[in-house]
């Protein structure tokens, strides 16, 4: 289990992190979302030891993280960096070796990743000759080559085409299924919603919401009540809370509060009820709500 | 250590494949080889070609005789420049305009010797004894010293520059963020210095081999002073020390900036120091026995170039070399530690130039 506990970081008089904490279990995929400048990158850089926190701690299985632990992590920084003049396969292999793989293991892991990420035709090209999307794939391969014990990826999906997004999502699911805690940040909330077991929302250096996606939905919005009534007389909902809109011959009532049983009785009395239920908020809605 | 070695290997593999390295290797080798030929070309031969008609004069060290059929042929050969002068029947000299003064003296003495021996007399030559230092090889030694200054300076500045550029490349592209999660800063820095240093050393050895080969091809090796092996070894050892010193400085200054464009500015203190070292070494080559040369051959980093120059130009007691060596090693260790500290603190701070004062505290 990777635990991030009470991280604080200040730059001059600007507070970047103000007590950020969450935990990711083995095999859990954790989506880290927040506005630009909210503190995602700073948190990840502290986890990777690229930056020192002013206070707080990162633990792996209860022990403070060491350099040797981090060597087994896979990291994709926000600012991508590769040796532009080095060949694709050579570069991936080099990073595998730096992470401690034996030459043969580095070579076979590189070959497998190149195949999987669709880079086979570019394996002997210099990185600078690749499109940005393909450079991104190489960057991922560099983070994955040593079968990391923990994955920390800062915006891994940005700039990828839909096929590459699918390929990466598959790779991440694989790693999680193998028991690896995976943390990634993204602005693509639908993707986070699809992939992640739990989500942390950070705003201005604080975690404003954090937990399994289902729990967040229930906690954040109990859900807006949506009632659709056909052929109702005008003015039937005047005494009810919520907003009424008319779509053709249907009235749609959205209520955030009020006695749902009373609303239902009124609706049945007014016309033919076609729909009555609570709508689950999307992650995007939860996010907007949480950071507002 | 493994990390350091992997980094060094990458530096070597990447750099050795570039055209610029191979070209600089070839150019430096050719330049030095050409310098070995230079005395032959500029100074011409030490011997004079003398055409001989009729009676042959006795052999002389600086004269190469060639037989000519008659005086007409001799006149033509002199005018065409095929020979420097022609000797007709042992008593007349044909020259193109005025006779070269030295050649004249030699011919005169050959002529005199011939007449004396014809008269049945033998004369004993003068014996010369030097009461000062053995100065026979002074010219050659100064030449070699000057050459060492140039080669060392070129290789030092060029190798250190590559260290700085490599540091900035990694910092600017942020690849250093990933690198430093798998290797320690000292491994990354050390690997870069070792790898590029090995390439510089290869270049130095190639230059030395090219120079020696060209010298032996021109017969210049015969003029080499005794202890040439020691001079070569000293140049190599001092190159390694000087390189360690300057490349560590280059890496430390390089780690302060994120863009290659800023590199020249930030490296100015290092290049100034290097230029100054070069100038003192050049001065030492001209006046190797002077007090300035003697003192600076002990002071790091000047010693890295002044001492090999002094060893080439004059005889330096072994004790002095060892003392200078120890002082330089101490300086190198200090600079390496300082550079590692600056590098560790500055290399992850991308963006605006990091002030040295902020990272040395």
Q: What is the full DSSP assignment across B265-292?
A: HHHHHHHHHHHHHHHHHHHHHHSTTSHH
**Cβ <8 Å between B181 and A73:** yes
Q: State pLDDT tens for residues A129-142.
A: 998 888 989 999 99
- Provide mean pLDDT across the span B152-165: 91
More confident residue, A90 or B349: A90
- Provide mean pLDDT across the span A260-266: 87
Domain that holds residue A232: 221-291
**Cβ <8 Å between B174 and A81:** yes
Q: Retrieve residue B279's tokens.
A: 């100038």
**Cβ <8 Å between B14 and A45:** no
**Cβ <8 Å between B177 and A82:** no
Three-class DSSP category at B43: coil
Q: What is the pLDDT of residue B45?
A: 56
- The confidence band for B42, taking pLDDT boundaries of 50, 70 and 90, is low
Cα–Cα distance measured from residue B40 to residue B51, given in angstroms and rounded to the nearest whole number: 22
Residues A12 and A59 in one domain: yes
Establish if B6 touches chain A: CB-CB under 8 angstroms: yes
Establish if A83 touches chain B: CB-CB under 8 angstroms: yes
* Helix-strand-coil split of chain B, %, nearest 5: 70, 5, 25
Q: What is the pLDDT of residue B277?
A: 92
Residues A231 and A212 in one domain: no
Residues A127 and A235 in one domain: no
Q: State pLDDT tens for residues B45-86.
A: 567 888 888 877 777 777 888 888 888 888 888 888 888 888
Q: Of A217, A246, A275, which residue constitutes the final position of a domain?
A: A217
Q: How far is B15 from chain A (nearest CA, A)?
A: 10
Residues A48 and A132 in one domain: yes
**For residue B74, what are the CA distances in angstroms to A266, B82, B89, B354?**
137, 9, 11, 78
B335 pLDDT above the threshold of 70: yes
Cα–Cα distance measured from residue B299 to residue B310, given in angstroms and rounded to the nearest whole number: 13
Cα–Cα distance measured from residue B327 to residue B315, given in angstroms and rounded to the nearest whole number: 20
In chain B, whose CA is at the least distance from the CA of A86?
B14
- Report phi then psi at A272, rounded to 5: -90, 115
- The confidence band for B330, taking pLDDT boundaries of 50, 70 and 90, is very high
B44 pLDDT above the threshold of 70: no
Beta carbons of B174 and A79 less than 8 angstroms apart: yes
Instruction: Name the percent of chain B lying above pLDDT 70.
Output: 95
**Cβ <8 Å between B173 and A75:** no
Residues A210 and A226 in one domain: no
Residues A37 and A155 in one domain: yes
Q: What is the pLDDT of residue B111?
A: 83
B150 pLDDT above the threshold of 80: yes
Instruction: Name the percent of chain A lying above pLDDT 70.
Output: 98
Residue A283 is part of a domain; what is its CATH number?
A: 3.30.70
Cα–Cα distance measured from residue B191 to residue B8, given in angstroms and rounded to the nearest whole number: 4
Enter the ipTM. 0.79
Q: What angle do CA B18, A107, B165 make, to 5 degrees?
A: 30
Helices assigned H by DSSP within chain A: 40-47, 67-71, 88-98, 103-116, 132-144, 162-177, 189-195, 213-220, 260-270, 283-291
Domain locations in chain B?
Answer: 2-40+137-360, 48-118
Residues A232 and A196 in one domain: no
In chain A, whose CA is at the least distance from the CA of B351?
A79
**Cβ <8 Å between B177 and A50:** yes
- Provide mean pLDDT across the span A233-242: 82
Residues A112 and A237 in one domain: no
Q: State pLDDT tens for residues A199-209.
A: 999 998 899 88
Residues of A in contact with B183 (CB under 8 A): 98
- The confidence band for A284, taking pLDDT boundaries of 50, 70 and 90, is confident
Residues A65 and A100 in one domain: yes
DSSP-assigned letter for residue A199: E
Establish if A98 touches chain B: CB-CB under 8 angstroms: yes
Beta carbons of A70 and A110 less than 8 angstroms apart: no
Q: What is the pLDDT of residue B139?
A: 75
A177 pLDDT above the threshold of 70: yes
Beta strands in chain B (DSSP E): 48-53, 63-67, 85-88, 92-95
Q: What is the pLDDT of residue A220?
A: 58
A106 pLDDT above the threshold of 90: yes
Chain B 181-210, residues with CB within 8 Å of chain A CB atoms: 181-184
**Cβ <8 Å between A95 and B10:** no
Residues A131 and A265 in one domain: no
B43 pLDDT above the threshold of 60: no
Establish if B31 touches chain A: CB-CB under 8 angstroms: no
Give me the residue label for tokens 């919005």: A221
Establish if A48 touches chain B: CB-CB under 8 angstroms: yes
Neighbours of A126 (CB within 10 A): 16
B136 pLDDT above the threshold of 70: no
pTM, two decimal places: 0.77
Residue among A70, A83, A94 minimizing CB distance to B181: A70
Establish if B16 touches chain A: CB-CB under 8 angstroms: no
Beta carbons of B349 and B256 less than 8 angstroms apart: no
- The confidence band for B128, taking pLDDT boundaries of 50, 70 and 90, is confident
Residue among B10, B174, B182 minimizing CB distance to A77: B174
Cα–Cα distance measured from residue A202 to residue A227, given in angstroms and rounded to the nearest whole number: 33
Q: What is the pLDDT of residue B130?
A: 66
Cβ within 8 Å of residue A89, ≥6 positions away: A110, A111, A114, A123, A124
Chains A & B: contacts with CB separation below 8 Å: 57
The H or E element that residue A279 is part of is: strand A272-279
Residues of A in contact with B351 (CB under 8 A): none
Three-class DSSP category at B89: coil
Residue among A49, A80, A85 minimizing CB distance to B181: A49
Q: State pLDDT tens for residues B269-302.
A: 999 999 999 999 888 888 888 888 899 999 989 9
How many structural domains are present in chain A?
Answer: 2
Cα–Cα distance measured from residue A246 to residue B130, given in angstroms and rounded to the nearest whole number: 120
With b for 16 or more beta-carbon neighbours within 10 A and e for fewer, the A237-270 pattern comes to beebebebeeeeebbbbebeeeeeeebeebbeeb
Chain A 125-154, residues with CB within 8 Å of chain B CB atoms: 142-143
**Cβ <8 Å between B181 and A86:** no
Neighbours of B204 (CB within 10 A): 23
DSSP-assigned letter for residue A95: H
Helix axes B303-313, B138-172, angle to 10 degrees: 160
- The confidence band for A127, taking pLDDT boundaries of 50, 70 and 90, is very high
Q: What is the pLDDT of residue A13?
A: 85
Establish if A73 touches chain B: CB-CB under 8 angstroms: yes
Residues of B in contact with A95 (CB under 8 A): 178, 182
Beta carbons of A151 and A180 less than 8 angstroms apart: yes
Residues of A in contact with B7 (CB under 8 A): 98
Q: What is the pLDDT of residue B317?
A: 87
B321-328 contacts at long range (C-beta below 8 A, 24 or more positions apart)? B321/B234, B323/B298, B324/B297, B324/B298, B325/B237, B325/B241, B327/B298, B327/B299, B327/B300, B327/B303, B328/B238, B328/B241, B328/B242, B328/B245, B328/B300, B328/B301, B328/B303, B328/B304
Residues of A in contact with B173 (CB under 8 A): 81-84
Q: What is the pLDDT of residue B303?
A: 92
Beta carbons of A49 and A200 less than 8 angstroms apart: no
A interface mutation test: which of B165, B181, B260, B344 has the most A CBs within 10 A?
B181
Q: Retrieve residue A272's tokens.
A: 């033919």
In chain B, whose CA is at the least distance from the CA of A142?
B178
């Amino acid at each position: 289990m990777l635990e991030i506990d009470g991280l604080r970081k200040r730059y001059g008089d600007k507070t970047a992190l103000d007590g950020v904490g969450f935990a990711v279990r083995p095999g859990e995929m954790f989506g880290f979302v927040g506005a630009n400048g909210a503190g995602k990158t700073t948190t990840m850089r502290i986890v990777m030891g690229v930056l020192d926190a002013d206070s707080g701690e990162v633990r792996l299985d209860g022990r403070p993280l060491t350099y040797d632990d981090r060597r087994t992590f896979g990291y994709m920084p926000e600012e991508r960096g590769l040796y532009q003049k080095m060949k694709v396969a050579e570069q991936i292999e080099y990073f595998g070796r730096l992470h401690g793989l034996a030459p043969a293991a580095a070579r076979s892991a590189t070959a497998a990743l190149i195949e999987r990420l669709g880079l086979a035709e570019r394996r002997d090209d210099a990185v600078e000759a690749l499109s940005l999307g393909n450079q991104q794939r190489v960057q991922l391969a560099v983070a994955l080559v040593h079968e990391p014990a923990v994955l920390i990826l800062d915006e891994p999906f940005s700039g990828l085409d839909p096929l590459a997004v699918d390929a990466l999502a598959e790779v991440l699911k694989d790693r999680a299924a193998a028991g690896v805690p995976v943390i990634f940040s993204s602005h693509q909330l639908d993707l986070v919603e699809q992939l992640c077991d739990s989500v942390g929302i950070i705003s201005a250096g604080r975690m404003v919401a954090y937990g399994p996606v289902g729990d967040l939905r229930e906690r954040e919005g109990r859900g807006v009540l949506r009632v659709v009534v056909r052929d109702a007389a005008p003015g039937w909902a005047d005494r009810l809370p919520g907003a009424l809109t008319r779509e053709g011959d249907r009235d749609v009532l959205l209520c955030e509060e009020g006695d749902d049983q009373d609303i239902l009785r009124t609706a049945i009395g007014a016309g033919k009820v076609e729909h009555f239920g609570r709508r689950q908020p999307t992650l995007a809605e939860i996010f907007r709500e949480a950071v507002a | 250590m493994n990390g350091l070695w992997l980094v060094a290997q990458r530096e070597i593999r990447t750099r050795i494949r570039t055209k610029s390295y191979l070209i600089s290797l070839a150019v430096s080798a050719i330049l030095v080889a050409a310098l070995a030929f230079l005395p032959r070309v500029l100074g011409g031969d030490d011997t004079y070609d003398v055409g001989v008609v009729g009676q042959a004069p006795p052999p002389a060290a600086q004269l190469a005789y060639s037989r000519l059929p008659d005086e007409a042929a001799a006149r033509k050969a002199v005018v065409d420049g095929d020979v420097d002068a022609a000797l007709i029947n042992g008593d007349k000299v044909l020259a193109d305009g005025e006779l070269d003064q030295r050649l004249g003296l030699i011919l005169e003495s050959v002529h005199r010797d011939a007449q004396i021996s014809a008269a049945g007399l033998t004369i004993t030559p003068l014996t010369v004894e030097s009461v000062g230092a053995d100065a026979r090889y002074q010219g050659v030694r100064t030449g070699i010293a000057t050459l060492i200054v140039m080669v060392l300076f070129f290789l030092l500045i060029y190798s250190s520059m590559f260290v700085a550029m490599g540091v900035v490349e990694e910092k600017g592209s942020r690849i250093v963020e990933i690198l430093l999660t798998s290797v320690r800063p000292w491994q990354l820095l050390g690997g870069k210095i070792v790898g590029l240093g090995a390439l510089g050393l290869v270049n130095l050895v190639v230059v030395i081999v090219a120079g020696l080969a060209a010298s032996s091809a021109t017969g210049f090796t015969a003029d080499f002073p005794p202890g040439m092996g020691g001079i070569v070894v000293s140049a190599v050892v001092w190159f390694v020390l000087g390189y360690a010193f300057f490349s560590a400085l280059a890496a430390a200054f390089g780690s302060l900036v994120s863009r290659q464009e800023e590199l020249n500015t930030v490296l100015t203190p290092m290049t100034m120091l290097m230029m100054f070292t070069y100038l003192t070494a050049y001065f030492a080559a001209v006046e190797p026995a002077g007090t300035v040369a003697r003192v600076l051959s002990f002071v790091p980093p000047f010693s890295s170039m002044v001492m090999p120059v002094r060893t080439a130009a004059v005889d330096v007691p072994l004790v002095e070399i060892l003392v200078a060596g120890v002082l330089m090693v101490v300086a190198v260790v200090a600079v390496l530690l300082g550079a590692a500290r600056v590098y560790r603190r500055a290399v992850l701070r991308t963006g605006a130039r990091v002030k040295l004062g902020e990272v040395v505290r």
